[in-house]
Chain A
Amino acid sequence: MTTTERATPGQRAPRAITVRVNGEEIEGAVEPRTHLADFLREKAQLTGTHTSCHQGPCGACTVLVDGQSARSCLTLAVQADGAEITTVEGIADGSRLSLLQQAFIEHFGFQCGYCTPGMVVIGAEILAEAAAGAVFTRDDLRVRLSANLCRCTGYIGIVNAVEAALAAQARGESA
């Protein structure tokens, strides 16, 4: 019952990596088996990225790697060397919440909040795609959001939030 591979001492030799996280350069020496999620939570001390399964299915650990959503529990930290990472902590513009973050609050897109970082990050990706011209129906949103699990909300508040943020973005509102 382990989440990590056993490694021989040679394989464990730490490697130096540099990752830009939310615009800030983070350097660290990591064992090759260290997941990006652990690197972000422990080395970068950004605990907003949550892990619920460390196995791939839940999406709680979703971050943007060079603008694309990725599961940080399935990504090795060494793979992210040189990459640009956005975590939930990097979504707001300083004191101003993004449209999407505001919509999550307004539309009750969370209860316990544990899945919320992953949902906000995948939602940010959806909004970015929409800004680049993609069109999403409510059903499309359900399909996209089904990448991530939420046990509390029954998803309706989350779908409502993303839909509302898309509409606000389309109206040209800014955060």
Chain B
Amino acid sequence: MTAAEQITPDQRRLVGSRVPNRNGERFVRGAGRYTSDIHLPREATMALLRSPHARARIIEIDTSAAAALDGVYAIATGAELFDRIGPHGYLWDLPGQKVGSGRPLAHGEVRHVGEPLVAVVARDQYVAEDAVELIRVEYELLSPVNTPAQSLADNAPVLHPDWGDNVQVVATWPVEIPGLPTPPDPTQALAGAHLTVRETWTSSRITAASMEARAVVCDYAPGPALTLYTSTQAPHIVREEVGRMLGVAEHRIRVIAPHVGGAFGMKGVFYPEEALVPYFAMLLRRPVRWVEQRDESFVADTPSRAQEMDLEVGFDVDGRIVGLRARYSIDLGSAPSSCGAGTGWATGALLPGPYAVPAVDIVATGVVTDKSPLGAYRGFGQPEANFPLERTLDIAARQLGLDPAEIRRRNLVPAASMPFVTATGSVLDSGDYTEMLELMLARPSYQAALAERDAGRAAGRVLGLGLAMYNENTNFGPSGILPLIGVSTGGWDTASVRIEPDGTVRVVSSQTPMGQGIETAYAQAAADEFGVPLDAVTVAFGDTDSSHFTGYASGASRAAGIGGSSVLMAAGKVREKMRAIAAHLLEAAVDDVELTAGGLRVAGSGMDPMPLATVAKAAYQGGNLPEGMEPGLVAEAGYDPPGMAFSYGAVAALVEIGPETGTVRVRRLIFGHDCGTQLNPAIVEHQVIGGAVQGIGAALSEMLPYDEHGQPFARSFADYLLPQATDVPEIDLFHTEHPTPFTLNGAKGVGESGVIAAPSAIVNAIQDALPAGAAPITSIPVLPERVLAGLRGCRA
């Protein structure tokens, strides 16, 4: 590649352009490499016996018939492994939280349907499953604790006897911060309010349901040296946990996340299988694999949401919020996952959303029940906060005779107040929320939706329009703050940038792609930093042997802002070194050397740029470098954000209801969005759309219900209804860009934006479609029965 060919003017600004995803050709050819695609010589397969009961004492387990089956290599029960595999740790470790045994297999008691209790390793999946069926377990059935209310009742059975009760953790706001004034108490404000709206809101238990289920494959070599392939967002966390639980030093463990077929937070949690597979690999001295089956995934993956909130909001005569009181439960399932009650914490801390709420009184209670442990899912507590508040605003608007847009306009945090400290102690960094609302209202598609609603109604159809606003906490978060809010790790992130001897660029990130497009966005950034075409950059990731340590891993919408900033920092260091080398070779002053498309040159000299390869060659030859300079051309950088960044937006939904069936069809979705600087607007757009469609599912069809025996109803995609292509309306998406001051590239996160307010907008629209006297819809998903009850004007 000659200097002249290296770059064309239109390639110069890749950041900000709609560069296609770099995995494209691999994926459309079926050449992706996901964990379950990996087969190793002599591999054995693990399958798990999972509890069929919600709550039972294990009297006896007889594995003899299974052990005798031809092709079975190992079987272990929870009791047998209790002292061999230690407890898992907690990424979210809220002050005072209680924990379960943390062991991968149940022992003594089972506490939810699907809890693993025996592991079998055999020749292949078929034999392993046959063996699982031959295991006989005698149980003494106990009556399950199904709901938070049952869990908190006076005579409730205590799931973990050493806890004393079923409360895992309690968190409250406001928080006293030393050195800051005492936060106001809303009691007086609420008592003096012109209007208070109080309801109980339910966000049902739902699950990420990534199309790729989980899988773990572990290679073994003497030492031991373990190579673990796992479908995770957090290779370093997995390494840390496996090391601690199995007593193997971290440098002996390599964790690789190959292509990850969707994750959405669910794969940011550490799972029992990630400890069991390497355990058996070491025991048997051979590779072991485990591939999750779909029916398992509905009980073995951590779900999310599962909150019930009693929310009281006071308004003055003009519709301004004067104070807010919330009491809510987080149904954590049988024991905290490594994510603990993190989502519940986020709900409280972010409850005021984009609004100026002067005073709060919030108590969150995490409780255990006999269900699968709760984890993370896109939105992470924020949809659970958004739904109650956005619904409350609509109810208040109606009672005050205000337009739903007007009540929001009166309560949004004004742009002039940024940065703004909320009553829960969050700092809203930047943005113009009011501008976003006005843009939405002025949007032709919004006007068209209004007209369509009114015309349809006049023609006897049942239509409604709903509005919701949100902000999203992203770039999570400053390492100094994380321990104060119960996160046990740092929030910085690292990248390294290396110029290879031929002048091409290699970026290594500690973030893990899972469909969010960071491999493309980082390549754009690096190509711009060095003035090279995209093809001259590779981005490596997802391997603890090459990727640098990161604490929080991929999640919390932190890849673009924090990961992206670390790429810029590392590139900057390399550029400086290249300038120094070029200056030395050109016998010029460093300050006079610039890096431009095609290479380095003395600014204003009119010379042909010196290609990167020439500089790289000198750097790697090493004999002709500036005095005292180390050879090589690589730099690593870690970026720790000084603050979090809040993306934000407005969502409007037009829905139509089938009057006979109660089915809800989303006819239009209009989405205004701001995530600061967009590194790749097409990636942003598709992240928002994908999230918004997940929001349609959460609003209308997705839930993981349990019967009174603690048996889950949803065990397949036939029971758990994901949105299909026919459920998706055309989406009108628009953007503003208010960069955050807290990253180097101005980017805020985008991953979770779509999912936060879409359900609220849809439910507000459904309510708008129902007769004026219909009782408020207070829980999601809104199933057809509930809609029909609303149409009949009664409460379901």
Q: Are A55 and B294 in contact (CB under 8 A)?
A: yes
Q: Does A153 touch B at the CB level, under 8 Å? A: yes
Q: Are A145 and B716 in contact (CB under 8 A)?
A: no
Q: Which residue of B133, B213, B260, B722 contacts A149 across the interface (Cβ within 8 Å)? A: B722
Q: Does B20 touch A at the CB level, under 8 Å? A: yes
Interface residues of A in 129-175 (CB under 8 A from B): 141-143, 145-146, 148-159
Q: Does B140 touch A at the CB level, under 8 Å? A: no
Q: Are B210 and A89 in contact (CB under 8 A)?
A: no
B164-172, B280-288, B326-334, B724-732 - the one binding chain A: B724-732
In the bound complex, residues from chain A placing their C-beta under 8 Å from that of B26 are: 113
In the bound complex, residues from chain A placing their C-beta under 8 Å from that of B687 are: 111
Q: Which residue of B30, B209, B717, B718 contacts A87 across the interface (Cβ within 8 Å)? A: B30
Q: Does A97 touch B at the CB level, under 8 Å? A: yes
Query: Closest residue of chain A to B49, judged by CB?
Result: A1
Q: Are B262 and A114 in contact (CB under 8 A)?
A: yes
Interface residues of A in 98-115 (CB under 8 A from B): 101, 104-106, 108, 110-115
In the bound complex, residues from chain A placing their C-beta under 8 Å from that of B782 are: none
Query: Closest residue of chain A to B720, judged by CB?
Result: A57
Q: Are B28 and A97 in contact (CB under 8 A)?
A: yes
Q: Are B514 and A145 in contact (CB under 8 A)?
A: no
Query: Closest residue of chain B to A110, judged by CB?
Result: B27
Q: Are A4 and B129 in contact (CB under 8 A)?
A: yes
Q: Does B34 touch A at the CB level, under 8 Å? A: yes
Q: Does B31 touch A at the CB level, under 8 Å? A: yes
Q: Which of A3, A87, A114, A149 has the most CB of B within 10 A?
A: A114
In the bound complex, residues from chain A placing their C-beta under 8 Å from that of B314 are: none
In the bound complex, residues from chain A placing their C-beta under 8 Å from that of B212 are: 50, 52, 112, 114
Interface residues of A in 13-42 (CB under 8 A from B): 31, 33, 41-42
Q: Does A49 touch B at the CB level, under 8 Å? A: yes
CA distance A33 to B129 in the complex (A): 13
Q: How far is the CB of A174 from chain B (nearest CB, A)?
A: 17
Q: Are A149 and B29 in contact (CB under 8 A)?
A: no
Using A54-B293, A57-B716, A149-B717 as known contacts, say yes or no to A47 and B30 having CB atoms under 8 A apart: yes
Q: Does B516 touch A at the CB level, under 8 Å? A: yes
Q: Are A50 and B34 in contact (CB under 8 A)?
A: yes
Q: Which of A108, A115, A153 has the most CB of B within 10 A?
A: A108
Q: Are B293 and A105 in contact (CB under 8 A)?
A: no
Q: Does A69 touch B at the CB level, under 8 Å? A: no
In the bound complex, residues from chain B placing their C-beta under 8 Å from that of A54 are: 293-294
In the bound complex, residues from chain B placing their C-beta under 8 Å from that of A87 are: 30
Q: How far is the CB of A3 from chain B (nearest CB, A)?
A: 5
Q: Does B187 touch A at the CB level, under 8 Å? A: no
Q: Are A143 and B726 in contact (CB under 8 A)?
A: yes
How many residues does chain A have at the interface if contact means C-beta atoms less than 8 Å apart? 59
Compute the total of residue contacts between A and B using a CB distance below 8 Å: 197
Query: Would you call the interface of chain A mostly helix, strand, loop, or mixed?
Result: loop
Q: Does B240 touch A at the CB level, under 8 Å? A: no
Using A4-B129, A50-B212, A88-B29 as known contacts, say yes or no to A113 and B259 having CB atoms under 8 A apart: yes
Q: Are A111 and B725 in contact (CB under 8 A)?
A: no
In the bound complex, residues from chain A placing their C-beta under 8 Å from that of B480 are: none
Q: Does B37 touch A at the CB level, under 8 Å? A: yes
Q: Which residue of B209, B264, B294, B686 contacts A153 across the interface (Cβ within 8 Å)? A: B686
Q: Which of B260, B517, B728 has the most CB of A within 10 A?
A: B728
Q: Does B23 touch A at the CB level, under 8 Å? A: yes
Interface residues of B in 243-292 (CB under 8 A from A): 259-264
Q: Are B30 and A48 in contact (CB under 8 A)?
A: yes
Q: Are B28 and A104 in contact (CB under 8 A)?
A: yes
Q: How far is the CB of B206 from chain A (nearest CB, A)?
A: 12
Interface residues of B in 701-737 (CB under 8 A from A): 716-718, 722-726, 728, 730-731
Using A50-B261, A55-B717, A145-B725 as known contacts, say yes or no to A111 and B515 having CB atoms under 8 A apart: yes
Q: Which residue of B31, B209, B296, B693 contacts A48 across the interface (Cβ within 8 Å)? A: B31
Using A4-B129, A49-B30, A112-B262 as known contacts, say yes or no to A105 and B690 having CB atoms under 8 A apart: no
Q: Are A151 and B210 in contact (CB under 8 A)?
A: yes
Q: Does B32 touch A at the CB level, under 8 Å? A: yes
Q: Are A116 and B28 in contact (CB under 8 A)?
A: yes
Q: Does B750 touch A at the CB level, under 8 Å? A: no
Q: Are B294 and A116 in contact (CB under 8 A)?
A: no
CA distance A112 to B517 in the complex (A): 8
Interface residues of B in 652-696 (CB under 8 A from A): 682-683, 685-687, 689-694
Q: How far is the CB of A111 from chain B (nearest CB, A)?
A: 3
Using A48-B30, A58-B717 as known contacts, say yes or no to A113 and B725 having CB atoms under 8 A apart: no
* Pairs across A and B, CB under 8 Å, 12 listed: A1-B296, A47-B33, A52-B211, A54-B294, A110-B23, A111-B686, A113-B27, A113-B259, A114-B34, A149-B717, A149-B722, A156-B686
* Besides the known contacts A113-B23, A154-B690, A158-B725, 5 further A-B residue pairs in the complex with CB atoms under 8 A apart: A47-B30, A88-B30, A110-B24, A116-B28, A151-B262
Using a CB–CB distance below 8 Å, which chain A residues touch chain B? 1-4, 6, 31, 33, 41-42, 46-50, 52-58, 60, 87-89, 91-92, 97, 101, 104-106, 108, 110-117, 120, 141-143, 145-146, 148-159
